[in-house]
Amino acid sequence: MGIRLLSLLSILLVMACAPVEPGSARDTASTDPQTPISGTRPSAPAALQKTMAVTPADLFGEEIPVYVREALRSDTRVTFDVRLPEGYQPSRPAALLVFIPARPKAQLPGDWRKVLDDQYVIFVSARSSGNTVGNGKRISYALMARVLAEQHWALNEDRVFVSGFSGGGRVASLLTAQFPKAYEGAIFFSGVDFIEEAPELYGPLRHHRFVFLAGEFDFNREGTEHARAQYEAAGILHTKLIIVPKMEHELPPGEVLEDALGYLAWSR
């Protein structure tokens, strides 16, 4: 178990993290990069998509974090869509991008796949975690995703990031403020909040890296620009604002994702 995972569980008031028992995380897989895929890795590594279902008890045993325990029952089964980058090998730790969608299930733009492969990024997103779901559950799912990835794949602990679109971006910003040791940075796609009532929460995020992204004609553009200014005023040293020309309220093309991921990984 990695040092950063121990730090994460400690901040969540957890004393230990039980390993996943064989069969406790149900998954399906396929070698077709466009469809959900199996737990068996192909002999010639390729991009691999998996669907995994786990409960808080599967991940944490009896020591479920207080925050998660208050939001979810221990036997609540959460389904995650996982995409491993092409050529993933346990001997080469990968970056992690957890994504909180605005809709019930994440829909990746087609050209994101090449970027995730080129940047060697594992992508994880919980199903049924759209804007109609309460913030407590959505944050819990994202914390579970972090631990799920730690338990199953080799991660580059300096490149563990969270993201979200629209309302999902707002939830990602709440998560990073409340659990600063869970992720090293974030991409807020067309949605982000600053907790004005508790500016002291942002002190531990001083050296984290954040990308604030919106479209030129996005109705959340002004709010995104304002939140970026608030982060900087709170002493956050590393922020990047990306306004995508001619884009409305939508996910950006792959080249913009590449720029955002490059900024998060810079100097790491």
Per-residue pLDDT tens digits of the chain, which is 268 residues long: 444 444 454 445 433 333 333 233 444 443 333 333 233 333 435 568 999 999 999 999 999 999 999 999 999 999 999 999 999 999 999 999 999 999 999 988 999 999 999 999 999 999 999 999 999 999 999 999 999 999 999 999 999 999 999 999 999 999 999 999 999 999 999 999 999 999 999 999 999 999 999 999 999 999 999 999 999 999 999 999 999 999 999 999 999 999 999 999 975 4
Which pLDDT value is given to residue 37? Answer: 26
With left for phi above 0 and alpha for psi between -120 and 50, is residue 120 left, alpha or beta?
Answer: left
Any residues with CB less than 8 A from the CB of 182 and at least 6 apart, and which? 8, 11, 142, 143, 146, 162, 175, 176
- Determine the angle formed by the axes of helices 135-152 and 167-178, rounding to 10 degrees: 70
- The candidate with the shortest Cα–Cα distance to 125, out of 31, 32, 207, 50, is 50
**Contacts for 174-178: CB closer than 8 Å, 24+ residues apart:** 174/135, 174/139, 175/139, 175/142, 175/143, 176/205, 176/208, 176/210, 177/201, 177/202, 177/205, 178/67, 178/139
Amino acid in position 188: F
**d(C-alpha 111, C-alpha 8), whole Å:** 32
219 backbone dihedrals φ, ψ, rounded to 5°: -70, -15
**d(C-alpha 41, C-alpha 27), whole Å:** 12
Amino acid in position 24: S
CA–CA–CA angle 65, 66, 68 (5° rounding): 65
**d(C-alpha 248, C-alpha 254), whole Å:** 16
- Considering the entire predicted model, what is its pTM? 0.85
Within 10 angstroms of residue 126's Cβ, the number of other Cβ atoms is 26
Which pLDDT value is given to residue 47? Answer: 62
Q: Which residue has the tokens 């998060």?
A: 264
Taking only the tens place, the pLDDT of each residue in 221-243 is 999 999 999 999 999 999 999 99
Q: Which residue has the tokens 């995994």?
A: 52
Q: Where are the domains of the chain?
A: 3-34+45-265
Taking only the tens place, the pLDDT of each residue in 20-41 is 332 334 444 433 333 332 333 3
Which pLDDT value is given to residue 125? Answer: 98
- CATH for 3-34+45-265 is 3.40.50.1820
Which pLDDT value is given to residue 124? Answer: 98
Any residues with CB less than 8 A from the CB of 37 and at least 6 apart, and which? 28, 29, 30, 31, 48, 49, 50
